[in-house]
């Protein structure tokens, strides 16, 4: 809905074609998913259909701020090079007039099915009037979708009594042993978070199975849940709103948590063995996964964050939002690890390798002007030593990545780089930290830079830190230390897509 009127898929696509040339490219990425124009948030419908990977996303093409949600759409053969497709869904029905909220997709036979949340908000003065229901759409070609005549397939009447019908969203569907299952984010009537499990024989008639919830303070609505098997373990990922700061290392009030455990398909009980934060940077939310053709579990997230001011709006660039680099998941030492998909290696060009760099003051690599690059940094024993890595360095400005062997942490500081990104709920929120158990054996950093984004994979993906950054000028990479720090290996690749 735009300006109070219903907007169709065709009208949205026409608007995009007419207006996409207005977009300013200065901070746009080269190897990350973006929309042609406008705002995007959660990844949706990450799926495999007829040997191609499809990714949908929450989309409002008419502004660089959030509005009534559509589903944008892209596809890829390799997770790296994406083709933008027409808008798949628009809020054009009474049951989704306030937005086609997040959901998922799966191929059934020769058709691609979408399951999404229909959101209605008939009275802006009364939040209790909001309703959220679950809906279906399907397509034979994976491009044009028809909404199901039986929508909503899970109505407010089918929400259990302990759950708020105003917060009932983000269905993730899958099939097991001839039955369909869905996990849905929910908020209890006492405003604690929970996840609801439903099952169906035909996708249109659903039965409530059970819920997963906690009595401790674990945020409010648990958005964008996903449940999947990984290395013979069940993993539940979710994005709790208003998670207490410090809970499982969380530094954003909109967090992303993985819970390794066991799901009982007969009872709907989920037993958790281990919780962890999925990303300790600034800009990562609402991840969703897909099982790749070769069996890998691949995750992608929204590379942005709620309650943040963006300079792109004030600069008049006509866009905001992108997706992370897709990441392969695996379990090691009872933790979910993440690594960039191996397909990115096919786009490496112009390799440079340095061995045995000894840093005891400042060492600049001014010829490496950071734009779209992959960096690999392997450090020797960092116990009781500190190394600053300045990214986008230009004069006194840089995005500062610090490996601190005294405090046993990796820090990311964006207080002194380009246009500031301000948090609406926490003034001067410029630093993120990740504790490291030991640095005696050294540390490995795999860093992906793409114009205005940085993704840092620490120690083969044990930890990840994701951040947006808007440097005003071209910058290079530099190293600084007051100690004698040895960089065992430094590799730079250009990423050319």
Q: Are 354 and 376 in contact (CB under 8 A)?
A: no
Q: Are 455 and 448 in contact (CB under 8 A)?
A: yes
238 dihedral zone (left: phi>0; alpha: psi -120 to 50; beta): beta
231 is catalytic: no
Q: Are 237 and 278 in contact (CB under 8 A)?
A: yes
Using alpha carbons, select from 221, 222, 215 the residue that is nearest to residue 238.
222
Active site amino acids: 42
């Amino acid at each position: 809905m735009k300006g109070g009127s219903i907007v169709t898929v065709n009208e949205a696509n026409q608007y995009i074609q007419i207006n996409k040339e207005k977009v300013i490219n200065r901070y746009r990425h080269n190897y990350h998913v973006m929309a042609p124009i406008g705002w995007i948030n959660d990844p949706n419908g990450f799926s495999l259909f007829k040997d191609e990977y499809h990714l949908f996303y929450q989309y409002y093409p008419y502004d660089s701020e959030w509005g009534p949600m559509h589903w944008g759409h892209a596809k890829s053969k390799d997770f790296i090079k994406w083709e933008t497709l027409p808008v798949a869904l628009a809020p054009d029905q009474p049951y989704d007039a306030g937005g086609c909220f997040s959901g998922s997709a799966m191929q059934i036979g020769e058709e691609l099915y979408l399951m999404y949340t229909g959101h209605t908000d008939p009275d802006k003065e009364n939040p209790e009037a909001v309703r959220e229901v679950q809906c279906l759409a399907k397509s034979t070609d994976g491009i044009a979708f028809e909404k199901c005549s039986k929508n909503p397939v899970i109505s407010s009447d089918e929400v259990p009594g302990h759950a708020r019908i105003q917060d009932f969203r983000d269905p993730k569907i899958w099939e097991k042993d001839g039955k369909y299952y869905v996990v849905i984010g929910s908020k209890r009537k006492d405003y604690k978070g929970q996840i609801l499990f439903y099952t169906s024989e035909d996708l249109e008639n659903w039965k409530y199975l059970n819920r997963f919830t906690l009595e401790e303070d674990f945020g409010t609505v648990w958005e964008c849940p996903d449940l999947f098997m990984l290395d013979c373990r069940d993993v539940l990922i979710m994005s709790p709103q208003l998670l207490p700061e410090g809970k499982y290392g969380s530094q954003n009030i909109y967090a992303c948590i993985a819970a390794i455990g066991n799901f009982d398909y007969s009872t709907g009980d989920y037993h958790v063995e281990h919780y962890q934060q999925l990303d300790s940077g600034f800009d990562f939310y609402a991840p969703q996964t897909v099982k790749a053709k070769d069996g890998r579990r691949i995750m992608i997230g929204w590379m942005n964050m709620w309650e943040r001011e963006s300079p792109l709006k004030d600069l008049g660039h006509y866009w905001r939002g992108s997706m992370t680099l897709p990441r392969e998941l695996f379990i090691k030492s009872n933790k979910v690890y993440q690594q960039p998909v191996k397909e990115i290696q096919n786009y490496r060009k112009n390799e440079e390798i340095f061995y045995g760099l000894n840093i005891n003051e400042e060492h600049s690599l001014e010829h490496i002007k950071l734009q779209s690059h992959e960096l690999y940094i392997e450090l020797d024993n960092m116990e009781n030593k500190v190394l600053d890595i300045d990214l986008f360095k230009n004069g006194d400005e840089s995005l500062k990545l610090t490996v601190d062997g005294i405090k046993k942490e990796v820090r990311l500081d964006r207080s002194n780089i380009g246009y500031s990104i301000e948090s609406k709920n926490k003034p001067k929120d410029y630093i993120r930290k990740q504790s490291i158990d030991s640095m005696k054996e050294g540390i490995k950093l795999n860093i992906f830079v793409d114009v205005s984004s940085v993704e840092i994979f620490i120690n083969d993906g044990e930890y990840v830190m994701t951040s947006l950054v808007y440097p005003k000028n071209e910058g290079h990479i530099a190293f600084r230390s007051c100690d004698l720090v040895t960089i065992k290996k430094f590799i730079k690749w250009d990423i050319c897509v």
